[in-house]
A and B are shown apart, each in its own frame.
Chain A
């Protein structure tokens, strides 16, 4: 269990302070004036591997791979539907992770899933599985700061970067504590609500990103409710980048992996505009 494969961490004495691959790359890109784009793709949904390859080829800086869970409370209809379809086809955490090495992409990968799958597997074991699969980071949207310690201890130990979520409802005194625990980047929740496309970028999206930028040097990415290229542009005028899930998955569901790639290129072009 003691992370034989986590060679990145070899020789690093202060594991908790180590800056991992995602954060290193994201800080460097941000500091060079590059806006960050992280698509979300549901693992196990038909065409998911090609969709991730297309993301990598067309301008994504990292990809968030969803491991489907039976009770996805932070997800709206599109991602619920994708998760259910993946589960119906037999997607399991191990089956999804087993395929990750064969994706053969250059950008870092994260896993987004719900805490019970981690809890059930065991914190150390799950963290170790991620490392073995070549996954650099992890997002658990139902594991808030106060409950996160058993997981983050294991993740830090194995060298997995735990992305923390910050929400528009947080009072000012909470945000620095959330930011301090964030590794990789800080996920600025764009809207009061679950994943899904919206006509407009919520005012809360840029407001929260602004509050976070003022208190942390960790890259700040807006996710949930960023629904098209124009909204991604708008969000990245304040934030360092965006995460897009429902709009990616709708394209994968309706049109397949190539459409995801085209869309990534479109968002990329939009956020690269000055």
Chain B
């Protein structure tokens, strides 16, 4: 099926994580039938160069040491695993939160960004380009750029610029240039398009710092590797706390990076893996395989193949596609992808705030919303929730949604 002219890149000497269900994609960048590298010809050499650069770096103990060091001394890893006693009691479960909200910059996004920024420097790039939805990935990228002395340009849908004004200001404060994108649905998907257009024009000196496990090969795999620290830590922490692996692992899914990061630590255990999508962006549940943003994956599209707009209360999950490895995990039945409504999310946002004193990001509140709705079916089970980010960025928006009720 594949043609003989396929590889410019060096063939793999080592296959990373060969004994895990989540090992490397195949030589075409596929997880099963999902993934690939559907980019304009101009970007093919850059993707090949990135793949080779990442492979070499990931196999190099010095690179891994450097990354571990900044993750520890700058980002604050390991993040805690907090047992949530009052929420547990409320739901009849034993709930642990993996506290990615406590990382520097307030979400899991920093794990990936520090990895990519280190790699970009190693590859001689001087500028980072990024897309952002909620602004968390943009803030993380601007932060890493400031830390490492790189230039930074962030594209953000005009709709998101409005609803995440605080993060826009943060990025500018950090020295990044933020450009509002007015094309298409003016949200995350269009920001990705614009970032790719930038990269097509600047590929010599710029690295595209993609913010989730999506895009052309090697991004879905590389970004997963940078986030697997979440799952690797959580598994050890859960074993230390309970003496066993959890029954259920839950995370929200936009592109799917925080979910894939925590799944990577548990995919080879018996834990049930649950990725929660917003009802208005349920790519796995309602999409069909399609090709956009460099990958073949489940995608919400109309009868002609035009990509549909996702609609969600959370800017970070407003994405009509999903990372290809999630499509694959779903297709083989290893992970499940239910969805929750905006109303359920608003409830969950308040629930966690009041029972645990933790204000979650609206994205992360999706995972809690699912748990709160379905908890009655798993009474007594141990659940690890990936709390991917903190809710500071969402407070202004929630003031509008809740009115005075927030103070009640």
Contact = CB atoms under 8 A, between A and B. Distances in A.
A177 B5 CA distance: 7
A143 B304 contact: no
A192 B203 contact: yes
Contacts of A150: 1
A269 B262 CA distance: 63
Contacts of A171: 8, 45
A141 B304 CA distance: 18
A168 interface: yes
Interface string B297-340: 00101001111000000000000000000000000000000000
Interface stretch (B60-68, B168-176, B193-201, B240-248): B193-201
A174 interface: yes
A70 B203 contact: no
A72 B39 CA distance: 12
Contacts of A144: 37-41, 44
A121 interface: yes
A73 B190 CA distance: 9
Given A120-B301, A146-B37, A147-B38, A73 B307 contact: no
A251 B77 CA distance: 56
A1 to B, nearest CB: 18
Contact of A74 (B36, B46, B183, B200): B200
Contacts of B404: none
A178 interface: yes
A189 B201 CA distance: 12
B305 A120 contact: yes
Contact of B184 (A71, A146, A165): A71
A167 B40 contact: yes
B184 A73 contact: no
Interface residues of A, number: 46
Interface in B32-76: 36-46
A173 B190 CA distance: 34
B11 interface: no
Contacts of B45: 167, 169-171, 174
Nearest to A145: B5
Contact of A142 (B40, B46, B288): B40
Nearest to B296: A119
B3 interface: yes
A192 B201 contact: yes
Nearest to B306: A70
Most B Cβ at <10 Å: residue of A70, A76, A143, A167: A70
Interface string A82-126: 001001000011100000000000000000000111011100000
Given A115-B38, A116-B290, A146 B28 contact: yes
Given A116-B307, A173-B8, A194 B197 contact: yes
Contacts of A120: 288, 290, 301, 304-305
B41 A73 contact: no
A80 interface: yes
Interface string A189-204: 1011110000000000
Contact of A192 (B8, B204, B290, B294): B204
The B interface, classified by DSSP as helix, strand, loop or mixed, is mixed
A80 B306 CA distance: 14
B184 to A, nearest CB: 6
A93 B304 contact: yes
Most A Cβ at <10 Å: residue of B3, B42, B307: B42
Contacts of A121: 304-305
Contacts of B43: 169
A74 B40 contact: yes
Nearest to B46: A169
B377 interface: no
B201 A92 contact: no
Contacts of A169: 41-46, 203
Contacts of B42: 167-169, 189, 192
A31 interface: no
A116 B5 contact: no
A69 interface: yes
B306 A69 contact: yes
Contacts of A168: 42
A166 interface: yes
Contacts of A141: 40-41
Contacts of A92: 304
A245 B290 CA distance: 27
B353 to A, nearest CB: 37
A272 interface: no
A73 B44 contact: no
A72 B183 CA distance: 10
Contacts of B44: 144-146, 167, 169-170, 174
Contacts of A217: none
Contact of A116 (B39, B196, B204, B301): B301
A149 interface: yes
B192 to A, nearest CB: 8
Interface in A135-175: 141-147, 149-150, 164-171, 173-174
A71 B40 contact: no
A177 B190 CA distance: 32
A194 B198 CA distance: 8
Given A70-B184, A71-B292, A116-B305, 16 more contacts: A69-B305, A70-B307, A73-B196, A84-B183, A116-B290, A117-B306, A120-B301, A121-B304, A142-B39, A144-B39, A144-B40, A145-B5, A146-B44, A147-B28, A149-B3, A192-B200
Interface of B: 1-3, 5-6, 8, 28, 36-46, 183-184, 189-190, 193, 196-197, 200-204, 288-294, 296, 299, 301, 304-307
20 contacts: A69-B305, A70-B307, A71-B293, A73-B193, A73-B197, A87-B306, A116-B290, A119-B296, A119-B305, A144-B38, A145-B44, A146-B5, A147-B37, A169-B41, A169-B45, A170-B45, A173-B8, A174-B45, A189-B42, A192-B202
Interface of A: 69-74, 76, 80, 84, 87, 92-94, 115-117, 119-121, 141-147, 149-150, 164-171, 173-174, 177-178, 181, 189, 191-194
The 5 tightest CB contacts between A and B, nearest first, are A120-B305, A193-B201, A167-B42, A70-B306, A167-B41
